Amino acid sequence: MQRVVGIEQWRRLAEDQRGAGRRIGLVATMGALHRGHQSLIAAARANGDYVIMTIFVNPRQFNDPTDLRAYPRTPEADRALAESMGVDALVEPVMAEMWPAYPDPTPTTVSVAGLGDVLEGAGRPGHFDGVASVVAKLAIVTGPSRAYFGEKDFQQLAVVRRMVLDLGLDVEVVGCPIVRDDDGLALSSRNVRLGPESRLRALSLSRALGLAGDLDGPASAMRAAMRATMEAAGVVVGYAEVVDPATLRALDDDAVGRARALVAGVVDGVRLIDNREVELRRGP
């Protein structure tokens, strides 16, 4: 595995690989790697890509400095896992090249209106501007590629897809299924902050989604069932929503067909999110 720091080295590496006839698979992460990240690497390898993984804790997507400081950082373990999974090049860019003005605000921002200011974006102003901005930079430096993102962060996936479409970036965005622990909890770097009791309460998110899926609509019944399930477990509910998968627009009871149910909640100070596809039917 080749380790890369500088942007120019990173850009030349990708150009050289494409020149040799290889397709680049980009796996963008903030480190603290787990099996969810491994699934993205495995998908890229299954597609025959030359895998470039980036690890960069992007401060622009944290609107709470405490959350940024608490974000887990495990660089040695991350490098070992990346190498064991067959990553071809690991890029760990430095802040001075990614955001030269940092810690001052960066003058240039990519914003995806309508997708980035609802759900997670409503309570975390600027979060998805930071996500869209950093993914745009990663994609521009890497060049033509496939970029792999997990469906666990479904809103992020929707924002990235729209940003790539609107900017005409030569990037194929590949969504990969959510990876869960045996108990059903969606894998997240934040899970390490959950104690045994907190984890039991956190399982109410996946239970709520399972109940919504079993209901088969209408949307209002799904919302009510998800919220009630999480509240009964003592979770502070951020939202329990049913939306159009492409626009993230909240759906009413006239909507039918495939939709996305999304939940967010705080468990003992740890914010967790989860989602699943559901099928909507009209109510009586």
Judging by DSSP bridges, how do beta strands 145-150 and 89-91 pair with one another?
unpaired
Angle CA(196)–CA(200)–CA(203) in degrees, nearest 5? 135
Say if residue 96 is exposed, middle or buried (CB neighbours under 10 Å; 0-12, 13-18, 19+).
Answer: exposed
The structure tokens listed for 53 are 């993984």
Find all residues with CB under 8 Å of 45, minimum gap 6, and list them: 25, 51, 85, 86
How far apart CA 200 and CA 176 sit, in angstroms, is 26
How far apart CA 218 and CA 280 sit, in angstroms, is 6
Q: Catalytic residue positions?
A: 37
How far apart CA 102 and CA 138 sit, in angstroms, is 17
CB atoms under 10 Å from CB of 194, counted, come to: 19
Strand, coil or helix: 55: strand
Judging by DSSP bridges, how do beta strands 257-267 and 270-280 pair with one another?
antiparallel
How far apart CA 278 and CA 260 sit, in angstroms, is 6
